[in-house]
Amino acid sequence: MKLQRHGLVAALLAASALLLAGCGSDPVPAGGGAGAPAAGGPAVDCGGKENLSAEGSSAQKNAMDAFVQAYQAACPGHNVAYNPTGSGAGIKQFSAGLVDFGGSDSPLSQEKGEVAAAAERCQGNPAWNLPLVFGPVALAYKIEGVTNLVLTAEVAAKLFNGQITTWNDPAIAALNPGVDLPDTPVKVIYRSDESGTTDNVQQYLAAASKGAWTQGTGKKFNGGVGSGAEKSSGVAQAVAATEGSISYVELSFAQDAKLSIARIDSGSGPVELTAENVGKAIEGAKVIGSGNDLVIDLKGVYAEPAPGSYPLILATYEIVCSQGYDADTAKAVKAFLTVAATTGQANLADAGYAPLPASFQEKLLTAVTAIA
């Protein structure tokens, strides 16, 4: 299945505008040039540290490439070196003070001590979760002759924890009448590195699988079966090369590898990963963070998806210090995030992501301006 990316963006923009209504949507000035408003964006105060470093989510790697290109155009001579090692590694490197900001597909965890560790790095000040990228996660598979597979969260959970071991299992056959399912062994492929994508998928399975997923959540895959692959690109490549395989990977990587994507039945019939259906899911999400800590709650979307919605979605965050940077680093981080939240969003559609709505851009810019 091939999703039209520009259609996806339009639907997500409309849904996100409803989700984030009330944040404000005053127009931003137009212009261009370093230190002046870039085309369609706010004034960018370029300067400070010339070479920022960042690490984390591989799900946002393609988006980060677009952000860096826009930043270099707005602030000549400045760069961000982004290492897509996975969300877990990004948070650890940020908290250790080894990179200037981290990227994660899930917010900092209080229970795992990530909030405290990040605050210590930030000289005792809280770190903020700033979502810059939204997108769906595909249940991607490779089964010869099967291109229109239907799964439920319950069956997906049983695939990922090894309870279902062949593709012609009666539970799968019941969801796919008339489909010639082979007796091919199921080969689960999972993210071997700690990943916010894994965390989101396990949160989804825990919330929606009617008790079939008892392995818990977190950035480490807990299913106990299958073969691991590093980063989103590695997962997509492994699925493409493995007959009988199934995994979870962000839409842009599934599209790039031309993988088949399962439809999800949440109780109201099979739902394809389309623009309209993802938009319906985004409408059900809420912002639950306090102040400038812009955490999105997706658990409600997972547990009680709207009829006809594609529920498996994620938000990718940049983890930054609210205070505690030196002056040069703070200035450069603010300049980069300003560009990323505005003009950097322009090319995300071509990378398979959903640009931020104007109202949420303003909320992000308020947080970025407050970084000290």
Detail the residues annotated as belonging to a binding site: 57-59, 87, 105, 195-197
- Domains of the chain, by residue range, sit at 5-134+286-297+313-370, 136-279
Does position 81 have pLDDT exceeding 70, yes or no? Answer: yes
Detail the residues annotated as belonging to a binding site for phosphate: 57-59, 87, 105, 195-197
At 146, which amino acid appears?
A: V
Count the residues in the chain: 372
Which pLDDT belongs to residue 275? 64
Q: What is the mean pLDDT of residues 183-191?
A: 98
Query: What burial letters (b/e) apply to 311-331, b meaning 16+ CB within 10 Å?
Result: bbbbbbbbbbbbebbeeebbb
Distances (CA, A) of 227 to 9, 29, 52, 116, 266: 33, 50, 34, 33, 27
Query: For 281-305, how does the pLDDT look when each residue is reduced to its tens digit (9 = 90+)?
Result: 877 778 899 999 999 888 888 999 9
Q: pLDDT-derived band of residue 14, with 50, 70 and 90 as boundaries?
A: low
Integer Rg of the chain from CA: 20
5-134+286-297+313-370 and 136-279: identical CATH topology: yes
Which pLDDT belongs to residue 33? 36
Query: For 95-140, how does the pLDDT look when each residue is reduced to its tens digit (9 = 90+)?
Result: 999 999 999 988 999 999 999 999 999 999 999 999 998 788 999 9
The encoded tokens of residue 160 equal 């990922």
Distances (CA, A) of 350 to 10, 158, 197, 258: 13, 34, 21, 15
CA distance 262 to 240: 15
CA distance 16 to 39: 23
The encoded tokens of residue 189 equal 């492929």
Q: pLDDT-derived band of residue 252, with 50, 70 and 90 as boundaries?
A: confident
**Strand boundaries in the chain, DSSP class E:** 51-56, 79-83, 101-104, 127-142, 150-151, 187-191, 227-229, 245-250, 260-261, 263-265, 270-271, 286-287, 296-297, 313-321
Q: Where is pLDDT greater, at 280 or 166?
A: 166
Considering the four listed CATH numbers 3.30.1330.80, 3.40.190.10, 3.40.50.150, 3.40.50.620, the one that applies to the domain covering 136-279 is 3.40.190.10
Which pLDDT belongs to residue 287? 80
Considering the four listed CATH numbers 3.40.190.10, 3.65.10.10, 3.40.50.150, 3.40.1400.10, the one that applies to the domain covering 5-134+286-297+313-370 is 3.40.190.10
CB proximity list for 170: less than 8 A, separation 6 or greater: none
